[in-house]
Amino acid sequence: MEGYSEIIKENIEYDSLLLAHPYDQEMVEGIFDLILETVLSKNGEITIVGDVYPKNLVKSKFLKLNYSHVEYVINCLGKNTTKMRNIKSYLLASLFNAGSTISSYYRAEVNHDMPQYAG
């Protein structure tokens, strides 16, 4: 557990996230805990928003998360205005998909803010 904890903290630049989000420290801590909990899961499969994935796939994706991915999830959460019934499920799905969606998300933001650069 200690080894994975250190790896994850280093990957996501945990201390820098805490400094960058002084009013959201509990959220940063919760995201770290969720990543660690998921990586350490003893289940052979992990369910994310109703889809079942092999644990090794989920573990691999979570161990590849970095500062930018967590920052992206925090920003998305901050912009969400819909009622969430299961915040853990939302965060789990957001973290799982972060590596695949971060680029498209920021591209869409730039296209919205500066349409002259779209295309």
pLDDT by 10s per residue, the chain, length 119:
889 999 999 999 999 999 999 999 999 999 999 999 999 999 999 999 899 999 999 999 999 999 999 999 998 888 888 888 899 999 999 999 998 777 655 565 555 566 776 66
Q: How many domains does the chain have?
A: 1
User: DSSP code of 7?
Assistant: H
Helix axis angle for 2-12 and 55-63, nearest 10°, is 50
Q: Which two tokens stand for residue 88?
A: 């853990």
- Cβ–Cβ < 8 Å for 78, 60: no
d(CA 7, CA 90): 23
* pLDDT for position 78: 87
User: DSSP code of 44?
Assistant: S
Domain that holds residue 50: 2-117
* pLDDT for position 111: 58
Global pTM reads 0.85
